Amino acid sequence: MTETIPRPRGAKAADGVTTAGPPLICSPLRIEARAARRGLRDTQDAPAVIRTGYGTTRATQAAGALSYRSFGQLIIMGVGAGLSADLSPGDLVVGTDVDGVACASAPLLAAELRRAGLSARTGRITTVDHLIRRGERAALAADGALAADMESAPLAAAAGGRPIAVIRAISDTPNHPLAGIVSGGLAALRSLRAAAPVAQRWAAACGTHQVLLAGPRSFCAGVERAIEIVERVLERQGEPVYVRKQIVHNTRVVGDLESRGAIFVDELDQVPDGATVVFSAHGVSPAVRHEASRRGLAVIDATCPLVSKVHAEARRFAADGYTVALIGHAGHEEVEGTLGEAPDSTILVQRPADVAAMQPRDGERVAFLMQTTLSVDEAAEVSGALRERFPGVRAPGSDDICYATTNRQAAVRAVAADSDLVLVAGSANSSNSVRLVETCERAGTQAHLIDGAADIQLDWLTGVSTIGLTAGASAPPAVVEEIISALAGLGPLSVSERVTTTESIRFGLPKEVRQ
């Protein structure tokens, strides 16, 4: 399936417009143009800087002249008025929208500015035909704008479908009005100069891109179930709802549930007596269950049924007198929970060398289990070492690495082969997301783990044409959409999906939250 992402709202490609050429920086005033020019790196692809004149009339005239000029990307850089009290002189506002012209890559540019040590936010920029009057800021802010200027809108309209970025350095704010404009203006000019090399990197990252989406990606059945459990408890009991550990390993999901009243704690001693506590999708050890019972806490268990299956296997093998080699990563919550099922009979093995060091009670009675979110390739190496050392080793009845982990690794392998770069949406503590990065790297393709579009470093995209995109089992689908939307602001973007399998698994909810 191939789909072309629509161009940003208001950014129609004009007939006959030449989109090739160097990037162009338009700055209204001479001092603004000078600040931008001084910050630029002297490279072959350095943007040209032109002064377009002060005010809407001159900006409109300059925009007309731009239709006769060849340029590849348009960057508008100048000083502007801040409309929010939490802005300070020298802060940068990167326009997401300039009076109807969308700048879809603003989150990428603002994040790059922040990584460069600048204070940068995204927001709507509005253009007015006069200096902001007393009392006018509040009305413009109420209309959704973060900054105002007198030139950006007519200039932005001249982009003609090319990638566009608008950076306004704040000189005055509600708390620092025009009376302080000299010091505020100097702070703004310093920020403009510092922002110029970042704008240059943004232009270098622009171009025609193809996104290859891996399918399946994003939420698995266990994650959907765990999130729904917390949502239902919040609905029924109201806030706060205590959750032991992160319900799933994703900062977006955790942040969203926190904003709705969930309180994530590391241990049960942070949960008040008599409260309800939800156990996360990664599961807990019996010791945690006993402690919750001793404290009289009401427990709702969001442990993924596929993790519970591994726990049951650990208990069964241990009861039959087997030493259990648990293939997994030390310190991961799921591994701690599984180890706790039969602590005297279970040995954690992370790599083949750990197998060589194992000292089971009886070499004839060894079994192995796996963390559900391992790399299929890595786990096969360790299980291979176990089979070699203990030929009679018992394996789990069915694969412990879950369907979602296996499917996402196969899917990303299929896109990595044809990608210059793979972006994996997921949080750093998400085991299955980290394994997706490793899967790409094993296939010889560079990959980066990102929580969202703002984590994309512009240098990664320079010279890249095909971008593989996937998401770990705990990363929301909306993050993938956010990333595609931001990439669409860097130039023509086509998106196709490569589906290696489809998933229909659903898990039932625990009785405490069923209707």
Print burial letters for 467-484: b (CB count within 10 Å at least 16), e (below 16).
bbbbbbbbbbeebbebbb
Give whichever of 52 and 432 is closer to ligand SF4, judged by the CB atom. 432
Per-residue x/- track, 222-251, ligand SF4 (CB under 6 A):
xx----------------------------
Query: Is the peptide bond preceding residue 216 cis, with omega within 30 degrees of 0?
Result: yes
Among 398, 405, 383, residue whose Cα is nearest residue 324: 383
Among 11, 281, 300, 369, binds ligand SF4 (CB under 6 A): 281
Stretch that binds ligand SF4, among 161-169, 172-180, 271-279, 304-312 (CB under 6 A): 304-312
Instruction: Work out whether 427 is an interface residue with ligand SF4 (CB under 6 A).
Output: no
> In the set 76, 81, 306, 434, which binds ligand SF4 (CB under 6 A)?
306
Site string for ligand SF4, 490-509 (x = CB under 6 A): --------------------
Number of helices (H) and strands (E) in the chain: give both, helices first. Answer: 17, 21
Indicate the residue among 195 and 307 with the shorter CB distance to ligand SF4. 307
> Is 221 near ligand SF4 (CB under 6 A)?
yes
The contact mask relative to ligand SF4 for 435-464 (x = CB under 6 A, - = no) is ------------------------------
Q: Are 250 and 480 in contact (CB under 8 A)?
A: no
For the purposes of burial, counting CB atoms within 10 Å of the CB of 200, is it exposed (0-12), middle (13-18) or buried (19 or more)? buried
CB of residue 410 to ligand SF4, shortest distance in Å: 14
User: Whose Cβ is closer to ligand SF4: residue 190's or residue 309's?
Assistant: 309
Work out how close the CB of 366 gets to ligand SF4 at its nearest, in angstroms, rounded to a whole number.
Answer: 24
Q: Which is nearer to ligand SF4, 253 or 473 (CB)?
A: 473
Residue 304 within binding range of ligand SF4, rule CB under 6 A = yes
Name which of 248 and 495 has its Cβ closer to ligand SF4. Answer: 248
Phi, psi of 351 (to 5 degrees): -150, 165
Binding segment toward ligand SF4, per CB under 6 A, in 8-16, 200-208, 214-222, 419-427? 214-222
Question: Would you say the C-alpha torsion 413, 418, 420, 422 has a positive or negative sign?
Answer: negative
Q: CB 405 → ligand SF4: shortest distance, Å?
A: 5
473 counts as binding ligand SF4 under rule CB under 6 A: yes
Question: Is residue 229 within 8 Å of 300, Cβ to Cβ?
Answer: yes
Q: 111 with 128: CB under 8 angstroms?
A: no
- Which tokens belong to 395? 């394996």
- Whole-number minimum distance, CB 158 to ligand SF4, in Å? 49
Catalytic-labelled residue, pool 313, 334, 336, 341:
334
319 burial via Cβ count (<10 Å: 0-12, 13-18, 19+): exposed
- Cα–Cα distance for residue pair 391/91, rounded to 1 Å: 65
* 334 has catalytic annotation: yes
220 scored as a contact of ligand SF4 (CB under 6 A): yes
For residue 484, the minimal CB distance to ligand SF4 (Å) is: 23
Q: Where are the alpha helices (DSSP H) in 206-303?
A: 221-237, 251-259, 286-294
Q: How far apart are CA 14 and CA 160, in angstroms?
A: 5
Of 278, 339, 325, 330, nearest in space to 304 by CA: 278
Does position 373 bind ligand SF4 by CB under 6 A?
A: yes
Contacts 24+ apart (CB under 8 A), 223-228: 223/248, 223/253, 223/281, 223/304, 223/473, 223/474, 224/506, 225/281, 225/302, 225/304, 225/506, 225/507, 225/509, 226/280, 226/281, 226/302, 226/304, 227/253, 227/257, 228/509, 228/513
Q: Closest CB to ligand SF4 among 223 and 257?
A: 223
Give how many residues touch ligand SF4 by CB under 6 A: 15
| Residue with Cβ nearer ligand SF4 (172 or 451) | 451
Smallest gap from residue 279 Cβ to ligand SF4 (A): 13
Tell whether residue 432 is a contact of ligand SF4 (CB under 6 A): yes
Contact between 371 and ligand SF4 by CB under 6 A: the answer reads no
- The footprint of ligand SF4 (CB under 6 A) covers 220-223, 281, 304, 306-307, 372-373, 402, 404-405, 432, 473
Active site residues: 334
